[in-house]
Amino acid sequence: MPNTIRVGVIGTGGIATSQHIPGYQALEDVEIVALCDVVPGRASAVAENVPGARAYVDFREMLARESLDAVSVTTPNFAHRDATVAALETGAHVLCEKPIAMNLDEGREMVQAARKANKLLQVGLHMRFETESQTLRRHVEAGELGEIYYGEATYMRRRGIPTWGVFTQSEFQGGGALIDIGVHALDRALWLMGNPKPATVLGATYAHFGKRTDVAAPRGLWDVEKFDVDDMGVALIRFENGATLILRACWAAHIEGNIVGTRIMGTHGGAFMSPLRIHKDMHGDMVDITPTGLVETRPHAAEIAHFIGCIRGEGECIVETEQVLDVQAILDAIYESGRTGDVVRLDR
């Protein structure tokens, strides 16, 4: 691996400019050499603040002309597969934003392409890199909670239907609130539970806000005409080891405010975040352990540093692709269960 890692970014919208580009720029011996966006002028406008970066409108042209070591795929979900596979085939490592893809079949293709190219494919599930997630995971791995048999994963916004991009159109994103923010809550809870194998899923999705113009929209109204996705998804997931997880995700609901949290319960301890508390019995008493002095990290920056570190051979990627495929399989199953009303059995 050369000393300087040459990076290209495909899709120079919100998450690229707010997180990926500054994330790479903060690292030593990492150079962003190419930026691509399908909207003419968008990548070149971003390139004005990225010295040395050339701008493209076609990612295939960018990949053919540049010799890239690493590529961030930060397009809407419909383009994740093609951009990721193409980048892997040119020999680049890829950090692809979440969800891995529109559905499991596409995700599998991407993972196969990474295996074939023998390159890293990391998916942008940045909640694993939050300080409290990392701390709790260490306690779980040390056996502090015993055998984990139950979890709750919640990412609920009182009013947060995206007003930009194509988040509310199924042909571009594959779904709505569930695939957009439910993916984060689901992934973090599964990771904290030790990624048990999913067996069955019962789910439901709702769309009681997205098509309406009579609801409060403090940050402006989304494109109500084009809205055709869920604004809420819920599920009960049962695992092969008997554990269960309840998932709740929404962009809009009549609730007291935004609720983001993870609870896990084990035979020897339980935990809730945020703020992180670990609940145990000790010497005949019930105790709550509050980790103190935690140093807050910026999870996206930590995720990008991890990606670059893995490329340099400094460690194994903590976002394992098999785990990411399980997440996508569960999301697909929730949508299917929502459509049919039936329990979906997973046998990947």
Contacts with ligand NAD, residue ranges (CB under 6 A): 10-16, 36-39, 42, 59, 74-77, 79, 97-98, 124, 126, 164-165, 180
User: Least distance to ligand NAD from the beta carbon of 314, Å?
Assistant: 22
User: Least distance to ligand NAD from the beta carbon of 265, Å?
Assistant: 27
Q: Which is nearer to ligand NAD, 200 or 323 (CB)?
A: 323
Q: Which is nearer to ligand NAD, 101 or 247 (CB)?
A: 101
For the chain, how are helix, strand and coil distributed in percent, rounded to 5?
Answer: 35, 25, 40
User: Least distance to ligand NAD from the beta carbon of 283, Å?
Assistant: 42
Distance CA 319, CA 306 (A): 10
Distance CA 348, CA 327 (A): 12
| Residue, CB closest to ligand NAD | 13
Q: Which is nearer to ligand NAD, 21 or 148 (CB)?
A: 21
User: Least distance to ligand NAD from the beta carbon of 152, Å?
Assistant: 21
Q: Which is nearer to ligand NAD, 82 or 238 (CB)?
A: 82
Distance CA 109, CA 181 (A): 23
User: Least distance to ligand NAD from the beta carbon of 269, Å?
Assistant: 29
Distance CA 90, CA 99 (A): 22
Distance CA 288, CA 138 (A): 17
Report which of 233, 251, 243 is spatially closest to residue 190, judged by C-alpha positions: 243
User: Least distance to ligand NAD from the beta carbon of 71, Å?
Assistant: 11
Say which amino acid occupies 246.
I
For the chain, where are the E strands, in sequence order?
A: 5-10, 30-36, 54-56, 70-73, 93-97, 121-124, 148-156, 198-206, 232-239, 244-250, 259-266, 270-273, 277-282, 285-289, 344-345
Q: Which is nearer to ligand NAD, 177 or 252 (CB)?
A: 177
Q: Which is nearer to ligand NAD, 60 or 312 (CB)?
A: 60
Q: Count the residues in the chain.
A: 348
Distance CA 131, CA 156 (A): 21
244-250 β-sheet, strand order? 285-289, 277-282, 270-273, 259-266, 148-156, 244-250, 232-239, 198-206, 344-345
User: Least distance to ligand NAD from the beta carbon of 143, Å?
Assistant: 30
Q: Which is nearer to ligand NAD, 24 or 59 (CB)?
A: 59
Q: Which is nearer to ligand NAD, 71 or 310 (CB)?
A: 71
Q: Which two tokens stand for residue 253?
A: 């609901």
Count Cβ neighbours within 10 Å for each residue of 270-284 and write b for 16 or more, e otherwise. Answer: bbbbeebebbbeeee
Query: Do 69 and 5 contact (CB within 8 A), yes or no?
Result: yes
User: Least distance to ligand NAD from the beta carbon of 161, Å?
Assistant: 13
User: Least distance to ligand NAD from the beta carbon of 76, Å?
Assistant: 5
Q: Which is nearer to ligand NAD, 62 or 243 (CB)?
A: 62
Distance CA 110, CA 208 (A): 34
